[in-house]
């Protein structure tokens, strides 16, 4: 176990590529540079609010018992071995080319090597101005920092590929934010999250190089990425083989999001990980009432581009942007590149139906079962029960039901409104078809239920719970925040059934509970 402040950090990314070493933080365009040196701006009074013990143990990091280690987490201390930098990337935002973006409020301190040889990038979010901050201040508020810290860890315990969060630190400084970009700016408590990942490289890191016609840098970054993160890929076709793995990882990530009802909220190409991780937690939400057209992001409301049910197709679109970015490297294999991109659909649907079979407790998924799965989706979209609670009640469904009333009563806990007669009949028809299929299973009922329990979370980090925890934290009350820290570690158990409840009615319209913005 080692201290944060005395550990010898590696700096392989900045050693491998050209960057701006001046340390000047003035926002600007940086052609030819893959990063800019950006030292964190010290804050008034960094204080540790939360620490991920499991992650720290995996990384071999000692609890920050003295102020110097806490100063690392808050951006007040940079050791001699660290090279703090902000990465340059571009992106398509809401379907439109946005040009240069970059780490506007994230600063990578360096790379932490663990005893098994694995290396992780340590990145402070909210640590101050960088050359990519544009018109912003590089800071983060407690509200958004709590959301990033808890949700990235929650996704990890759900078994979903994600960046992690090691710590949450309050800064002792107020930050001015307009929560919904509607002219109602107010000061909020500031905070910094230290987030961890093997790499924070995004599709946008490759898009910026292609857009600037920096083909040599593009080739160098691609080959470095393959060598470092995909070392098993070799040979003349390694760029295509690498892209295929990125396609597959992204498709499988979408399946995982759909499994638990996660909605990212802002799937711009600069928010898409080259490693297939969930990255950049902003206006996200879990689905409460099942609605494929649900988006939690106020900025996304006009077209609902990033709605729950559209996420797989958006991932495919974003991969198309990545394919366009790396096209100069495989110009003579354009048709093969397109074929790899198109393979997303097969990979996604094969994995999606397999996942849905597990959610339903099926021993296998046949063509006939796919029709049943579509029947489930159509019925849930019509009656809009609470997704998480509905699937939990499905686990305990009797193998025989007599009438519509019995079925409605069994699932009553999941309904947000009383079902109409037509909706009740639709649910009964679905459940009868489902039970007929379940009774043909070749596995025991208990094994089927165990499969369902391992696939369907019982606890999810709902926005209204997060909102309550944030409000209480801002008043100095850590009770709910600490309870949620414990609950996210056991999402498939009934240990925290005090949270096994639908979204309350008051939360349906309350800002920060139902709808959020990119400021979230």
Please write the tens of the pLDDT for every residue from 157-203: 999 999 999 999 999 999 998 877 777 789 999 999 999 999 999 99
Strand partners, 100: 90
Which is catalytic among the residues 20, 71, 103, 270? 270
CA–CA gap between residue 447 and residue 391 (Å, rounded): 16
Q: Is residue 516 part of a domain?
A: no
SS3 470: helix
Residue (of 330, 247, 294, 271) closest to 104 by Cα position: 271
Mean per-residue pLDDT, 79-86? 98
Mean per-residue pLDDT, 383-399? 97
User: 426 and 476: one domain?
Assistant: no
Per-residue model confidence as pLDDT tens digits over 250-297 = 999 999 999 999 999 999 999 999 999 999 999 999 999 999 999 999
Residue 3 pLDDT > 70: yes
User: 220 and 347: one domain?
Assistant: yes
User: 50 and 122: one domain?
Assistant: yes
Count the helices and strands in the chain (H runs, E runs).
16, 12
Instruction: Report pLDDT for 115.
Output: 85
Instruction: Report pLDDT for 210.
Output: 98
Mean per-residue pLDDT, 358-375? 98
Concerning whether 447 is annotated as a catalytic residue, the answer is no
Q: Is residue 369 part of a domain?
A: yes
- The number of beta carbons lying within 10 Å of the beta carbon of residue 217 is 19
Q: Is residue 6 part of a domain?
A: no
* Cα-based angle 61, 119, 74 (whole degrees, multiple of 5): 50
User: 99 and 29: one domain?
Assistant: yes
Q: Is residue 514 part of a domain?
A: no
- The number of beta carbons lying within 10 Å of the beta carbon of residue 71 is 20
Mean per-residue pLDDT, 450-460? 98
Mean residue pLDDT across the chain: 96
Domain count, the chain: 4
Q: How confident is the model at residue 485 (pLDDT cuts 50, 70, 90)?
A: very high
Q: Which of 314, 342, 357 is the last residue of a domain?
A: 357
Of 93-97, 176-180, 208-212, 372-376, which range is least confident? Answer: 176-180
List Cα–Cα distances, 443 to 33, 361, 401, 453, in angstroms.
57, 9, 21, 15
Q: Is residue 1 part of a domain?
A: no
Contact 220, 278 (CB under 8 A): no
CA–CA gap between residue 164 and residue 462 (Å, rounded): 19
Strand partners, 107: 124
User: 308 and 341: one domain?
Assistant: yes
Contact 421, 403 (CB under 8 A): no
List Cα–Cα distances, 275 to 320, 350, 358, 401, 446, in angstroms.
16, 20, 25, 46, 36
Instruction: Report pLDDT for 447.
Output: 98
Q: What is the pTM of this model?
A: 0.97
| Segments forming the whole domain that contains residue 414 | 363-455
Alpha helices in 367-415 (DSSP H): 367-383, 387-395, 404-410
Q: Say which residues have a Cβ less than 8 Å from residue 402's Cβ, sequence separation at least 6.
A: none
* Cα-based angle 6, 278, 391 (whole degrees, multiple of 5): 125
SS3 111: strand
User: 126 and 48: one domain?
Assistant: yes
Judging by beta carbons within 10 Å of its beta carbon (0-12, 13-18, 19+), is residue 147 exposed, middle or buried?
buried
CA–CA gap between residue 84 and residue 109 (Å, rounded): 4
CA–CA gap between residue 305 and residue 78 (Å, rounded): 40
Mean per-residue pLDDT, 500-511? 90
Q: Is residue 209 part of a domain?
A: yes
**Which residue carries 């990384």 as its tokens?**
59
Mean per-residue pLDDT, 371-396? 98
């Amino acid at each position: 176990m080692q201290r944060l402040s005395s550990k010898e950090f590696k700096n392989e990314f900045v050693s491998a590529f050209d960057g701006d070493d001046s340390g000047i933080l003035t926002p600007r365009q940086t052609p030819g540079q893959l990063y800019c040196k950006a030292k964190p701006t010290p804050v008034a009074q960094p204080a540790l609010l939360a620490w991920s013990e499991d992650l720290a143990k995996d990384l071999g990091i000692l609890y920050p018992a003295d102020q110097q280690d806490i100063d690392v987490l808050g951006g007040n201390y940079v050791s001699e071995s660290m090279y703090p930098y902000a990465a340059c990337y571009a992106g398509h935002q809401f379907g439109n080319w946005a040009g240069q973006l970059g780490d506007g409020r994230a600063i990578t301190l360096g790379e932490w090597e663990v005893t098994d040889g694995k290396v992780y990038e340590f990145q402070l979010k909210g640590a101050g101005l960088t050359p990519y901050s544009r018109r912003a201040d590089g800071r983060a508020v407690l509200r958004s920092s709590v959301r990033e810290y808890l949700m990235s860890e929650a996704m990890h315990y759900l078994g979903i590929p994600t960046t992690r969060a090691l710590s949450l630190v309050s800064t002792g400084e107020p930050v001015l934010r307009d929560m919904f970009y509607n002219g109602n700016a107010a000061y909020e408590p500031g905070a910094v999250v230290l987030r961890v990942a093997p790499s924070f490289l995004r599709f946008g890191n490759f898009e910026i190089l292609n857009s600037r016609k920096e083909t040599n840098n593009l080739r160098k970054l691609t080959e470095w990425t393959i060598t470092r993160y995909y070392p098993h890929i070799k040979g003349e076709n390694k760029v295509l083989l690498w892209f295929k793995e990125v396609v597959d990882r992204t498709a499988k990530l979408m399946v995982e999001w759909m499994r638990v009802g996660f909605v990212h909220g802002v799937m711009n190409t600069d928010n898409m990980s080259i490693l297939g991780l969930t990255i950049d937690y902003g206006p996200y939400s879990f689905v409460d009432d099942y609605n494929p057209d649900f988006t939690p992001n106020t900025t996304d409301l006009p077209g609902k581009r990033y709605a729950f049910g559209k996420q797989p197709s958006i991932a495919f679109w974003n991969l198309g942007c990545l394919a366009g970015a790396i096209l100069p490297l495989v110009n003579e294999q354009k048709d093969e590149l397109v074929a790899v991109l198109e393979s997303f659909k097969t990979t996604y649907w094969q994995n999606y139906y397999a996942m849905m079979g597990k959610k339903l407790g099926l021993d296998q998924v046949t063509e006939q079962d796919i029709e049943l799965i579509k029947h489930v989706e159509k019925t849930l979209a019509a009656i809009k029960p609470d997704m998480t609670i509905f699937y939990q009640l499905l686990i305990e469904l009797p193998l025989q039901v007599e009438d519509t009333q019995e079925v409605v009563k069994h699932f009553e806990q999941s309904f947000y409104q009383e079902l109409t007669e037509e909706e009740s009949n639709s649910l009964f028809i679905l459940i009868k078809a489902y039970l007929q299929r379940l009774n043909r299973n070749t596995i025991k009922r208990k094994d089927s239920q165990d499969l369902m329990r391992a696939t369907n979370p019982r606890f999810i980090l709902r926005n209204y719970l997060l909102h309550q925890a944030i409000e209480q934290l801002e008043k100095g009350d850590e009770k709910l925040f600490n309870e949620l820290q414990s609950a996210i570690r056991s999402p498939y158990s009934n240990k925290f059934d005090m949270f096994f409840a639908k979204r309350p009615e008051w939360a349906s319209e309350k800002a920060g509970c139902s709808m959020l913005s990119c400021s979230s």
